[in-house]
Amino acid sequence: MNLKQIAKDTAKTLQSYLTYQALRTVLAQLGETNPPLELWLHNFSSGKIQNGESYIEQLLREKPDLALRIMTVREHIAEEIAEFLPEMVRTGIQQANMEQRRQHLERITGIDTSNPSLQPEQQKTSDQNLDNLSN
Amino acid sequence: MNLKQIAKDTAKTLQSYLTYQALRTVLAQLGETNPPLELWLHNFSSGKIQNGESYIEQLLREKPDLALRIMTVREHIAEEIAEFLPEMVRTGIQQANMEQRRQHLERITGIDTSNPSLQPEQQKTSDQNLDNLSN
């Protein structure tokens, strides 16, 4: 597992995602102030936003004022929310894992009762874990 | 701009993305230890990994040991890299914005020299910004 590369890839994905959130913010603002421009930006962005930097570059060529606005907004969003992300993601994954294990164990116990022969592999789970997680 | 909602959506996206990275890690491990199972997992995951939690739930029903392994790996990745993400994303966006502005201004100056009439809107950019950024 190359954690350094994963961190780099994750930061890049985040950067693209925040560009998408900045676009959504600007679209919402334009919806109130300039609906025709909102429509134009919506159509222009469709299918291009997957790669944030390539998208910004294309928009800079078409409507630089809009691109610069989205760039300003994404930087602002990053400044405001970045510090909260580590705790949110760690907690989110821990809770999701716990919930997935709980549901899985509930399914196993249900299946075990009605027809144990269908799921032999899953029965390895110890009763102790079951007691801890299924409450 | 609803920063709280954006933070929640971003954390959820990150969680899905780290699930994808955990899958990639497990695939790479299986590639060395159990190629047929790697192939199975690759085929199973295709088109399902977009929604991390739904994917894990489906995999838990098919091959719980693999799902539990991916869950363990994603939690480990989150523990290891989460703390580095805020600085990486902030810096990444600041540098990307600076680079996009620099390239944009280079394009404008190039266009200005050869055919100023094509890009009247972009000429509003002040010469002072240009001096700062194009070096």
Q: Tell me the ipTM for this assembly.
A: 0.79
Largest CA distance in chain B: 65
Query: B90 vs A78: CB contact, 8 Å cut-off?
Result: yes
pLDDT > 70? residue B121? no
Query: Rounded to an integer, what distance in angstroms lies between the CA atom of residue A10 and that of residue B74?
Result: 12
Q: Which chain A positions have a beta carbon within 8 Å of B122's beta carbon? A: 64
pTM above 0.95, yes or no: no
Q: Which chain B positions have a beta carbon within 8 Å of A97's beta carbon? A: 71-72, 74-75
Query: A18 vs B86: CB contact, 8 Å cut-off?
Result: no
Count the Cβ atoms, other than its own, within 10 Å of residue A36: 8
Is B34 an 8 Å CB contact of chain A? Answer: no
Q: What pLDDT does residue B134 have? A: 37
Q: What is the pLDDT of residues B88-118, one digit of tens each?
A: 999 999 999 999 999 999 998 886 544 455 5
Query: B100 vs A67: CB contact, 8 Å cut-off?
Result: yes
A77: closest chain B residue by CA: B3
Instruction: Name which of A89, A100, A102 to mutate to probe chain B: the one with the most chain B Cβ atoms within 10 A of its Cβ.
Output: A89
Q: How does A37-48 read in b/e, with b if 16+ C-beta sit within 10 Å? A: bbeebeebbeee
Query: Rounded to an integer, what distance in angstroms lies between the CA atom of residue B106 and that of residue A64?
Result: 13
Q: What pLDDT does residue A117 have? A: 52
Q: What pLDDT does residue B1 have? A: 78
Query: B88 vs A11: CB contact, 8 Å cut-off?
Result: yes
Please tell me the total number of residues recorded for chain A in this structure.
135
Could you tell me how many CB contacts below 8 A there are between chain A and chain B? Answer: 161
Query: B97 vs A71: CB contact, 8 Å cut-off?
Result: yes
CA distance A94 to chain B (A): 7
Closest Cβ–Cβ partner in A57, A78, A83 for B100? A57
Domains of chain A and any CATH numbers: 3-81 (1.10.1200.210)
Low-confidence ranges of chain A (pLDDT < 70): 111-135
